[in-house]
Amino acid sequence: MITPLRLGTRGSALAMAQSGHVAEALTAATGRPVELVEVVTAGDRSKAPVRRLGVGVFVSALRDALVARTIDLAVHSYKDLPTATAPGLHIAAVPLREDPRDALVARNGRTLAELPPGATVGTGSLRRMAQLHALGMQLAVTPMRGNVDTRLGRVLGSDADLDAVVLARAGLSRLGRAGEITETLDPMLMLPAPAQGALAVECRADDPDLIELLAVLDHAPSRAAVTAERALLATLEAGCSAPVAAYAELAEGDAGEEIYLRGAVISPDGTREIRLSRTGTPADAAEIGKALAAELLDLGADTILGHEGHTGPGTQQIGSTE
């Protein structure tokens, strides 16, 4: 009898759906059985805003379980991972990325442009808040936490108190709730968080057999895009209270496949923003991210980031997995 691999996951509906998908894909590709092991994180126990809870709030318990060998692998929402490498651990696979764009769920099927001045819009992300303010639509942007059902209930439930919420489209899709989206937001209006929509499958670095097994799940274009976005984030050394956005796309260029990276730094009130883009080859994904971050800094991004506090290299986290 083959011993099942123990896959550590948070217990939220979204985390379980993501981990279940990875488990099924791994078993289908390799024949190896996988069992889910729920791990409670500090972020799950607290209702405080993510920016107050600290770095890695949704991942540290999973990583501790890997080091303790109580699980064999873990699945993270990649945007929750600090940019610093975790000693002794290895990102063995980045599966095919879901649509990384943000999505609006509004009452009466409204789009963003149809929301009237003063409409209440909820989100748990400072990046989204900043970009909503930058649109100049005079929206009343409200901070919120909670799982996907809780957030949707504030618009669609019997006790709804908001006109709309903005969530990651990927999470809604993975939960089978994409039908409730009233508009998928164009990145020109709402640039996603670095690594939004991507998953990271992590295991111990001293387990070469498992690393080789998990490689079957890796999607090279998704890994390249995420690498570029996270290199930008790491180079900016932005804390979780600094709204930083990045979105990399791969497409065929004149000289072969190219990566097109857009990055932005926006002040929380939306009054200041710097947006730039850069292209290159997928093999140079990390260097593209670093170079674009350097250009943003040259144009004054550090003054925006400085207003929000500086956490130092390797301590970045943007938003929560929900």
β-partners of residue 16 are none
* C-alpha span between 21 and 15 (Å, rounded): 10
Long-range contact pairs involving 53-59 (C-beta distance under 8 Å, separation at least 24) = 55/82, 55/240, 55/311, 55/315, 55/316, 55/317, 56/80, 56/81, 56/82, 56/317, 57/317, 57/320, 58/10, 58/320, 58/321
Cα distance from N-terminal residue to C-terminal residue, the chain:
37
Rounded Cα distance between 266 and 274, Å, is 7
Q: Is 80 a catalytic residue?
A: yes
296: left (phi over 0), alpha (psi -120 to 50) or beta: alpha
Q: Which candidate in 72, 80, 102, 163 is catalytic? A: 80
User: Which burial class, exposed, middle or buried, applies to 317 when counting CB atoms under 10 A from its CB (0-12, 13-18, 19+)?
Assistant: buried
Distances (CA, A) of 202 to 64, 73, 88, 207, 209: 12, 6, 11, 11, 13
Positions marked catalytic: 80
